[in-house]
Structure 1
Amino acid sequence: MARVDARGTTRILATLPAPADGGAHPPALDAPMATGIVRTSDGTVYVLYAAGTADLTGLWRIRPGGAPRRIAALPADGVPNGLALDPQAKRLYIADSVLGTIWTVPVAGGTPTAWSTAPELASTGFLGANGAKVHDGALWVTNLDRGTLLRIPIRADNRAGTPQVKASGLAGIDDIAFTGTGDELLAAVNAPNRVVRVRSDGAVSTVLVAGDGLQNPTSVAVRGREVYVLSAAFFTAADPNLLRARLGGRR
């Protein structure tokens, strides 16, 4: 895990342990990978680790100044990917891209519960359920293979409602971030090298492209009017980077 300051200086804050078997890798991936990440108001960071081994795969917690600690184990034959926080319920939701499952676990850790295994979460051969965010009483989840954006209501007693398709035709959709205007959001679309705006009515428009510096964007965050996009360069294999833009314009 690294911190990038306003000047673009990067500082490593924590490193997750490598599998004892140097050849271990999760299904569909070439190597162990740290994936979803969220930060709480006290500076605690939660991160997912798809390690390919039972002793390491799961949800990890990193407190300020502390060492990484796994607080929830997840199946080694899956790929825990998107991570979403519900701060009111003090609960985390985890999208598994291979098992087509949404797991949930309290922020204190413990044994994860399979919250939803709806067929809309399944992959069609590579990666299914991917990005995840809690917004306005629902968990919003992307499906990379199917190119869909789903809204799953969070019912009483933390039960999952029926998934609703809010947008489609977005093969390669990865992480999402809400802009603060109703249900409008931005989505990173990985292999097509785009960031798109999805309006509340499901209309989609492209707002950033490769010419803006994208290199297979994987995640997006919004803070005020600032937009931050991480590019992993999975397919371009060149210049993984962090891009900053502004809502309503580019810079």
Structure 2
Amino acid sequence: MPRLPHLAHLATAAVALGALAAAPAPGDGPALSRPHIVAHFDLAAGQTPENIALEPDGSADLTFAQARQVANVPLHGPTRILATLPAEANPNTPLVHAAIVLGIARAHDGTLYVAYATGTSKTGIWRVAPGDRPRQIAKLPADGLPNGLALDERHGVLYTADSVRGTVWRIPQEGGTPVAWASGTALDPVPSGSGFGVNGIKVHHGDVWVSNTDQGTLLRIPVRQDGSAGPIETRATGLGGIDDFGFVGRHGDTVLAALNSSSEVALVRPDGSHTVVLTAAAGLSNPTSVAVRDRTVYVPSAAYFTLKDPNLLLARLHHRFSD
């Protein structure tokens, strides 16, 4: 969620809202342990990590929103810039009024896909193939804000969450014409809110899950047999300032969600209840997304509101959540 001037005034309210719904469940022990920062980034250079995809070697591919870059961050060693999206001389992106790179997804062959928002014809999905320059494979409406991005390789499609238009777009993986796949009030921003509606997105057990930042919700959208969207289901509420999220374990529907404005990560259970499991005290600085591999949890922080220490934090997931 890129920084907007008026969003800072909403941060205190978001913290209070999240606290009301974050009471720990009886008998719960710590879900995460050993949080530590593995990389610090340069705020002045626009290195605001927005979204994350993991490489087989455990390194993280991040989008640096304000720098328009895709970077690889190893667990040990320097950050490497993989690509820079082309500059836009006259950006007119809704809400942010700057060209920014947002969601990222990785295919098994190493190809990366990113969502790029400029307010011009460059807005859309771009492919970053190893050894090649970024190429636009799909155009999306210039008055939208394609944010989170998810890849379903089994069916050869990408999904992106348009935070301004309240729409989930479906795009062929090889590129082509996007289809407005899902929309409705559950995906819309709140008129008096930040302007960010549907935001994070994941494909999980064949269905599409999304977050809505303004509404503080986690939603599931079933994928019907013909590929169309089923009725939108609300799976959790009270997640003030939710950005992107990641599933833990292989079988269940437990989620770790980045709560951007309050600098927290919440564990969201399948029954919709949630507990805050990481805070600013661990090093979070407006976290934007979460990735989980086995028992390792990755959390990028963009420092959009704190304006202090954008970073990548790792933590250890308790074994009872890793099945």
TM-score (structure 2 length as normaliser):
0.75
Letter in 2 for 1:206: V
The equivalent of 1:237 in structure 2 is 307
How far the C-alpha of 1:25 sits from its partner, in A, is: 3.3
The equivalent of 1:157 in structure 2 is 226
Letter in 1 for 2:291: A
How far the C-alpha of 1:20 sits from its partner, in A, is: 2.3
Letter in 1 for 2:107: T
C-alpha distance in structure 1 between counterparts of 2:281 and 2:168, whole Å: 35
- Quick check: 1:92 aligned with 2:162? no
Q: Percent identity?
A: 56
List aligned pairs for 1:1-251, cutoff 5 A.
1-21=70-90, 24-54=91-121, 56-125=122-191, 126-180=195-249, 181-248=251-318
Three-state SS of the structure 1 residue aligned to 2:203 is: strand
Cα offsets for 1:60-90 (capped at 9, x unmatched): 0011111000000001111000111112111
C-alpha distance in structure 1 between counterparts of 2:97 and 2:308, whole Å: 17
C-alpha distance in structure 2 between counterparts of 1:119 and 1:146, whole Å: 10
C-alpha distance in structure 1 between counterparts of 2:307 and 2:92, whole Å: 19
Aligned-pair RMSD on alpha carbons?
1.1
Letter in 2 for 1:151: R
TM-score (structure 1 length as normaliser):
0.96
Count of aligned residue pairs for this structure pair: 246
C-alpha distance in structure 2 between counterparts of 1:145 and 1:186, whole Å: 18
Q: Which moved more, 1:6-15 or 1:91-100?
A: 6-15
C-alpha distance in structure 2 between counterparts of 1:231 and 1:32, whole Å: 19
Three-state SS of the structure 2 residue aligned to 1:120 is: helix
C-alpha distance in structure 2 between counterparts of 1:201 and 1:209, whole Å: 23
Cα offsets for 1:115-136 (capped at 9, x unmatched): 0112100001410000000111
C-alpha distance in structure 1 between counterparts of 2:309 and 2:89, whole Å: 30
Three-state SS of the structure 1 residue aligned to 2:96 is: coil
Structure 1: tracts of 5 or more residues without a match: none
Three-state SS of the structure 2 residue aligned to 1:183 is: coil
Structure 1 residue runs of 4 or more that deviate by more than 6 Å after TM superposition:
none
Structure 2: tracts of 5 or more residues without a match: 1-69
Give the number of the structure with larger relative contact order, counting CA–CA contacts within 8 Å between residues 6 or more apart. Answer: 2
The 1:88/1:228 distance shift into structure 2, 3 A limit, reads same
